[in-house]
């Protein structure tokens, strides 16, 4: 038998999987940390995928304006995005992969302008 944590050979009882209590707690600590990391990654990943799905679904024509509630009601979360693009006027378009959104205020209604990623938006190296 080898210790699950340090890989040292364990002498004595054959049902032991750790050489001592230190290895045992270190092993469980690492496992817990790994699980936390994985679940955070998955959480962000899920938000991004959900956002992308919603944007794709609502942006059939490639360019459209919608009230924010329409997106929020479907579970859209604007805090999760993959990258951004700023136009010459300084408007900040946020993207979830190839689907983007820009927050606009139009009289009293908060809206999103939905766009699709275009080739000219691809940043050159050394983003400003
Ligand atoms: Zn050990």
Residue 124: pLDDT band with limits 50, 70, 90: low
Average pLDDT of span 98-104: 96
pLDDT at 99: 97
28 pLDDT more than 70 = yes
Per the confidence metrics, is the pTM higher than 0.75? Answer: no
Are 66 and 114 in contact by the 8 Å Cβ rule? The answer is yes
Stronger pLDDT, 128 or 29, i.e. the higher one: 29
Split at pLDDT 50, 70, 90, the class of 107 is confident
Whether 128 shows a pLDDT value over 70: the answer reads: no
Q: How do strand 99-106 and strand 92-96 relate by DSSP bridges?
A: antiparallel
Q: Where are the beta strands (DSSP E) in 21-128?
A: 63-67, 83-86, 92-96, 99-106, 109-116
pLDDT at res. 35? 86
Each domain of the chain, given as residue ranges in start order, spans: 23-121
Closest CA to 56 of 110, 115, 113: 115
| Strands of the chain, DSSP E | 63-67, 83-86, 92-96, 99-106, 109-116
Cα 41 to ligand 1 centroid, rounded to whole Å: 29
The predicted pLDDT at position 51 comes to 98
- CA 34–ligand 1 middle distance (angstroms): 19
Distance 21 CA to ligand 1 centre (A): 9
> How far is the centre of ligand 1, averaged over its atoms, from the C-alpha of 22 (Å)?
8
46-88, pLDDT tens digit by residue? 999 999 999 999 998 889 999 999 999 999 999 999 999 999 9
């Amino acid at each position: 038998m080898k210790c699950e944590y340090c890989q040292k050979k364990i002498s004595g009882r054959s049902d032991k999987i750790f050489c001592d209590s230190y290895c045992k707690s270190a092993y469980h600590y690492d496992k817990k940390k790994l699980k936390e990391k994985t679940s955070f990654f998955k959480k962000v990943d899920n938000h991004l995928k959900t956002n992308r799905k919603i944007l794709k679904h609502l942006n059939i024509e490639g360019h459209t304006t919608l009230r924010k509630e329409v997106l929020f009601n479907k579970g859209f979360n604007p805090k999760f995005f993959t990258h951004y693009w700023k136009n010459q006027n300084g408007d900040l378009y946020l993207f979830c992969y190839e689907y983007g959104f820009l927050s606009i205020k139009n009289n009293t209604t908060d809206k999103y302008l939905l766009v699709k990623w275009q080739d000219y938006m691809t940043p050159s190296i050394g983003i400003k």
